[in-house]
Amino acid sequence: MVAPAEQVLLQRIREGRLVEGPEHATERYLEGLKRTLVVSADTELISAPAYLRAARHAPSLNAYVSALGIIQDELGHAHIAYRLLEDLGVDTEALVYERSPEDFKYPYAFDVPLDSWTELVVANAFYDRAGFVLLGDIFRHTSYGPWKRALVKVDREENFHLRHGERWMEILASDPSTKAELQRAVDWMFVMTLEWFGLPDHLKRHTEQIEYGLKGSTNDQLRQQWMSTAVPLCERLGLKVPAHYDPDRGQYVIDCPFPAEFDEASKRWRFEEGPVSWDAVLARWRRRGPANEEFVEQLQRGWRQLRAVA
């Protein structure tokens, strides 16, 4: 079947009718959709080894089971996105098991290993909230029908992850002996999540993605949306974060040099060096971070071993 022309597709999207498959789309739309799906799938998938590494530090059996439940959800979410890619003709086995670690498309944040239960629950409260904001935007605005329907369940489950993270942050904040460690985790992970949303709007135009209904809001709007719940959470728990609400401007303002250089060894932002360019950030992302190879290796090891004996 000949794919309809660009105008027919754009008309369909403007009328709010969903794209149900390649027969409704153009090559350019499908390429954009696949790129977006790969980022989502890779992000959910890599969170499994990243969270599992830290779950070992769970303070009780119930806490450990909660952490494992979250990891299982994330694998389910990854499976949904890869399955949608498979339906679009992508060889997902090669995509997951044969890609080089540095070619995975998840945010740099997951390359920085989580080393404690405290960092894991802050990841649930911050990183899963970023995922929730991004996927919520896609759920509301995507023009691709199969993805929209699949996201109903994903959205509900991410809710539980956020609550788990918030509940544990509350517990850790209520005791001075654990609050200091919590604050240290917040110090690097808050800015790490701000960075997650990518280039600011004056450097990145989203015309194509928004025209195609692949996303509804811009990077800066999504970053604002994340801060609008993450900042009040931290303020309520008496945790300091480098951002505040400015009533005159009607938005959140970042109070530290941003973007900044990140010291991977000490997990600390080098604010004293002032802001760096987004080109420097993109270069760091492309180099990938300390745990990239370890996590991808963990995902691919079993597949390679099976293939060796088959």
Partner 1 sequence: MPTAEQVREVLRSVLDPEYPVSVVDLGLVRGVEVDGAVVRVRLTFTSLGCPCVELIQEDVRRAVLQLEGVEEVVVEQVFEPWSRQHISPEGLRRLREVGVV
Binding residues (CB under 8 A) for partner 1: these are 62-63, 65-70, 149-150, 152-153, 156-157, 159-160, 163-164, 167
Minimum distance of partner 1 from residue 150's CB (angstroms): 8
Beta carbon nearer to partner 1, 157 or 261: 157
Distance, in Å, from the CA atom of 132 to the CA atom of 149, rounded to the nearest integer, reads 16
Minimum distance of partner 1 from residue 70's CB (angstroms): 7
Minimum distance of partner 1 from residue 155's CB (angstroms): 8
Name residue 289's amino acid: G
Q: Which two tokens stand for residue 228?
A: 């609008």
Three-class SS state of 243 = strand
Distance, in Å, from the CA atom of 70 to the CA atom of 76, rounded to the nearest integer, reads 10
| Start-end of H helices in 108-144 | 117-141
Beta carbon nearer to partner 1, 171 or 256: 171
Q: Which residue has the tokens 């420097």?
A: 280
Beta carbon nearer to partner 1, 163 or 205: 163
Minimum distance of partner 1 from residue 81's CB (angstroms): 15
Beta carbon nearer to partner 1, 65 or 253: 65
Minimum distance of partner 1 from residue 73's CB (angstroms): 8
Minimum distance of partner 1 from residue 76's CB (angstroms): 11
C-alpha closest to that of 160 among 56, 41, 65, 236: 65
Minimum distance of partner 1 from residue 161's CB (angstroms): 9
Beta carbon nearer to partner 1, 157 or 181: 157
Q: Which helix (H) or strand (E) holds 246?
A: strand 243-246
Q: Which helix (H) or strand (E) holds 252?
A: strand 251-254
Beta carbon nearer to partner 1, 63 or 125: 63
First to last CA, the chain: 39
Distance, in Å, from the CA atom of 221 to the CA atom of 204, rounded to the nearest integer, reads 13
Per-residue buried b or exposed e for 160-185, using 16+ beta carbons within 10 Å of the residue's own CB: ebbebbbebbeebbeeeeebeebbbb
Q: Which helix (H) or strand (E) holds 165?
A: helix 145-173
Beta carbon nearer to partner 1, 150 or 256: 150
Distance, in Å, from the CA atom of 149 to the CA atom of 145, rounded to the nearest integer, reads 6
